[in-house]
Amino acid sequence: MARSKLPILAQYLRPHWKGAAGGVVALLLVNCLGIFIPLILRNGVDQLQETFSYGAVIRYALLIAGLASGMWVVRMLSRIWLFGVGRQVEFDLKQRIFSHLLGMEPAYFVDNTPGDLISRATSDVDNIRRLLGFAVLSLANTIFAYALTLPVMLSISVQLTLASLAIYPAMFFMVHLFSDRLRQQQLDVQQRTSDLSDLIQEDISGMSLIKIYAQEENERRAFADRNQKLLTANLRLARTRTTLFPLLGGLASISLLVLLWLGAGAIANNTLSVGDFIALLLYVERLVFPTALLGFTITAYQRGEVSIDRVEHILQEVPKIRDAHHAIPLPKEEVRGWVSAHHLTFTYPGAEAPALQNVEFTIKPGETIALVGPIGVGKSTLANALPRLLNVAPNQLFVDGYDITQIRLRDLRAAIAYVPQESYLFSTTIKNNVRYGNPVAELDEVELAAKQAQIHPEILNFPQQYKTIVGERGITLSGGQRQRTALSRALLVDAPILILDDALSSVDNQTATQILQNLKTGTQRKTVLFITHQMSAAAIADRILVMDQGTIVQQGNHEELLSQGGLYQELWEQHTLEQVLQ
Ligand SMILES: Nc1ncnc2c1ncn2[C@@H]1O[C@H](COP(=O)(O)OP(=O)(O)OP(=O)(O)O)[C@@H](O)[C@H]1O
């Protein structure tokens, strides 16, 4: 049995309680006014039967028209307020989901695909909006309609009221029978929609790959398959709905027939006045709509309930990487640049072997350190561990002697400028891409960073220089240009620790070496850790760490390592051979 969603709904509604209360009060008013119209009509009919006058007819007509207009205005107000609350809650939820996602660690987005997250942040939030707007409105309407109408009906005729409404419990029973199936089918539709969004997302990102490998037909088939599953799920849901609601409508008509049949007899026996009969007919008619609507309301409610689960699932997920209690503040200006690892061991969730195992090193402030090693030995893992993009255990990695898991996350990341293997450039100007870490930086700062990264002359050749838009909406940069733009971005924030993860792999060896030489001897002496397969660049580092199978197997400067033999010598010889063959 699912947990009641009412406390969660109350929590969503709390900031907007005034609008919700206003809407509900307006609905109550509408229903109160609605009680009077049939009564006025009854009195009118009964009175006019005795003494007929046109003046009386007009008076009654004006009274009823006035009341009906009043009802219309108040009903509009109730809808505006209640639907407005639904929209407000939708806005709040989207804000909360987005802020929450910004706090999650990168690994979270591996397990939770963009399609699924987008569908939760859009169609599920939409379902919750409908629940709070439409469902609350019609539920309140139904309750008020019954609570106010039933006593008046009973006062007119207990027997006729009970007989005409006897069929109504069957409606609830039927809705109950259908509800589980509707809920399950709704969930299925939501899941299939996410599956389809995922495929679209992946295919659009990998469009060139699809074309290069001529996989259009396969992708078309994969799409058709998922689209078909969504269609089947939607049709199944539609079938259930289209069976339920006409059945509800049919049952409602039966109650009218019963009233007509018994009411006609009662009038013939003089136990009921014509006016009473008309009033009863109008009241039963008034209850048909809210009762039939209850079916929709329950569906909207169930759909909303499923969506609340899906949205709350995101919101309740606690980020694994977050500030410790009493996290240590470490302002960027005070960071000296010591970086060390002690018994650093890290295993990816679900992996069998650790990617890092007993890693030990100490890097002094201002040192330029190269990290080399064969592919897949854990170099990027180490780079990701330092700014806590991975959930490393406490007391294994240190900056300035402080355990990184204890440093305030914001400060730790501000102290480290990190250029990953694949840098992401936003679809905006080069200038904005470079100053992403400091959006108010002036052009001269941007240019300085670009000069250090040796891309400034190329940017000047672009159509609008630093204002050139790159990415999806602009020009496509070459791999080397992308990497140097990303490096400029990291240099601009002027962090005391700089990590380059194979970040110059698409830049020629000579330029890469030149850039590193600049960084090494540059005015701002940073602690630089550069991971590279470019051995000629590594050779100029103050010290080189050699990594194999998740651990540091050698360290020293180029000459020392060469004389030691071992993995470094092998890598160097391989590099020299490649140079000769080129
Ligand atoms: N998210 C992940 N989940 C599970 N295993 C992973 C994950 N990321 C990397 N690995 C594994 O961890 C090991 C180390 O990978 P890592 O990317 O750190 O190597 P690397 O030395 O940087 O390689 P390269 O030189 O090719 O960049 C590899 O075996 C890799 O398959």
The finding on whether 192 has its CB within 6 A of some atom of ligand 1 is no
Pocket test residue of 109, 320, 345, 348 for ligand 1, highest count of atoms within 8 A of CB: 348
Q: What is the dihedral of CA 176, 177, 178, 179, to 10 degrees?
A: 40
Same domain? For 228 and 339 the reply is no
Residue 322 lies in a domain: no
Give the distance (Å) from ligand 1 centre to CA of residue 351.
11
At residue 472, does pLDDT exceed 70? Answer: no
Rounded CA separation 92/98 (Å)? 10
The closest of 152, 129, 137 to 82, measured between CA atoms, is 137
pLDDT bin (cut points 50, 70, 90) of residue 164 is: confident
CATH number, domain with residue 134? 1.20.1560.10
pLDDT bin (cut points 50, 70, 90) of residue 363 is: very high
Residue 424 lies in a domain: yes
Rounded CA separation 535/90 (Å)? 54
Same domain? For 420 and 487 the reply is yes
Rounded CA separation 558/576 (Å)? 14
Same domain? For 310 and 233 the reply is yes
The residue out of 291, 316, 341 marking a domain boundary is 316
Rounded CA separation 12/44 (Å)? 47
Residue 325 lies in a domain: no
Rounded CA separation 191/310 (Å)? 11
Same domain? For 44 and 165 the reply is yes
State which H helix or E strand residue 304 sits in. helix 274-316
For atom 25 of ligand 1, the residue with the nearest CA is 375
For atom 11 of ligand 1, the residue with the nearest CA is 355
Residue 327 lies in a domain: no
Determine if the pTM surpasses 0.80.
no
Give the distance (Å) from ligand 1 centre to CA of residue 375.
8
The finding on whether 532 has its CB within 6 A of some atom of ligand 1 is no
At residue 582, does pLDDT exceed 80? Answer: no
The residue out of 316, 341, 361 marking a domain boundary is 316
Residue 492 lies in a domain: yes
Q: Report yes or no: 449 and 491 within 8 Å, Cβ to Cβ.
A: yes
- The rounded Cα 365 to chain-centroid distance in angstroms is 41
The atom of ligand 1 lying closest to the CA of 351 is 4
DSSP per residue, 104-132: S-TTHHHHS-HHHHHHIIIIIHHHHHHII
Give the distance (Å) from ligand 1 centre to CA of residue 193.
32
160-176 mean pLDDT: 81
Helix (DSSP H) and strand (DSSP E) numbers for the chain: 22, 10
**The tokens of 565 are what?**
């033999």
Same domain? For 371 and 243 the reply is no
Strands (E), 276-365: 339-346, 356-363
Q: Report yes or no: 372 and 347 within 8 Å, Cβ to Cβ.
A: no
The finding on whether 378 has its CB within 6 A of some atom of ligand 1 is yes
Residues contacting 139, CB < 8 A, separation 6+: 294, 297, 301
pLDDT tens profile 212-253: 998 999 999 999 999 999 999 999 999 988 888 788 778 878
Q: Which domain holds residue 543?
A: 333-581
Rounded CA separation 136/152 (Å)? 25
At residue 1, does pLDDT exceed 50? Answer: no
What is the chain's alpha carbon radius of gyration, rounded to the nearest angstrom? 36
Rounded CA separation 563/182 (Å)? 74
DSSP per residue, 535-569: HHHHTTSSEEEEEETTEEEEEE-HHHHHHH-SHHH
The closest of 279, 404, 282, 293 to 340, measured between CA atoms, is 404
Q: Report yes or no: 182 and 241 within 8 Å, Cβ to Cβ.
A: yes
Give the distance (Å) from ligand 1 centre to CA of residue 194.
28
Buried b (16+ CB within 10 A) or exposed e, 117-149: bebbbebbbbbbbbbbbbbbbbbbbbebbbebb
Same domain? For 297 and 337 the reply is no
Same domain? For 159 and 199 the reply is yes
The finding on whether 503 has its CB within 6 A of some atom of ligand 1 is no
403-432 mean pLDDT: 88
Same domain? For 176 and 35 the reply is yes
Residues contacting 157, CB < 8 A, separation 6+: 266, 272, 276, 280
Rounded CA separation 156/35 (Å)? 13
State which H helix or E strand residue 527 sits in. strand 527-531
The closest of 396, 369, 390 to 537, measured between CA atoms, is 369
What is the rounded end-to-end Cα distance, in angstroms, of the chain?
69
pLDDT at res. 256 = 83
Give the distance (Å) from ligand 1 centre to CA of residue 420.
13
The finding on whether 302 has its CB within 6 A of some atom of ligand 1 is no
Same domain? For 207 and 66 the reply is yes
**Integer CA distances (angstroms), 193 to 132, 199, 229, 302, 508, in order:** 23, 10, 9, 18, 45
CATH number, domain with residue 479? 3.40.50.300
pLDDT tens profile 39-88: 888 888 888 877 878 888 888 888 888 988 998 999 899 989 988 998 99
The finding on whether 355 has its CB within 6 A of some atom of ligand 1 is yes
Same domain? For 83 and 189 the reply is yes
**Integer CA distances (angstroms), 9 to 17, 129, 140, 297, in order:** 11, 11, 15, 15
ipTM at complex level: 0.94
Residue 409 lies in a domain: yes
The closest of 570, 497, 572, 500 to 531, measured between CA atoms, is 500
**The tokens of 79 are what?**
């809808």
The finding on whether 546 has its CB within 6 A of some atom of ligand 1 is no
At residue 377, does pLDDT exceed 50? Answer: yes
The finding on whether 348 has its CB within 6 A of some atom of ligand 1 is yes
**The tokens of 115 are what?**
């399609």
3-state secondary structure 454-521: CCHHHHHCCCCHHHCEEHHHCECCCHHHHHHHHHHHHHHCCCCEEEEECCCCCCCHHHHHHHHHHHHH
The atom of ligand 1 lying closest to the CA of 350 is 4
104-125 mean pLDDT: 84
The finding on whether 377 has its CB within 6 A of some atom of ligand 1 is yes
Q: How many domains, the chain?
A: 2
Alpha helix segments (H runs only) across 51-167: 54-102, 108-111, 114-119, 125-130, 136-156, 158-165
Between strands 368-372 and 543-548, the pairing is: parallel
Same domain? For 481 and 538 the reply is yes
Give the distance (Å) from ligand 1 centre to CA of residue 376.
5
pLDDT tens profile 538-562: 888 889 999 999 999 988 888 888 8
Residue 324 lies in a domain: no
Same domain? For 453 and 537 the reply is yes
- The rounded Cα 435 to chain-centroid distance in angstroms is 27
Q: Is the torsion defined by CA of 225, 230, 234, 240 positive or negative?
A: positive
Residue 328 lies in a domain: no
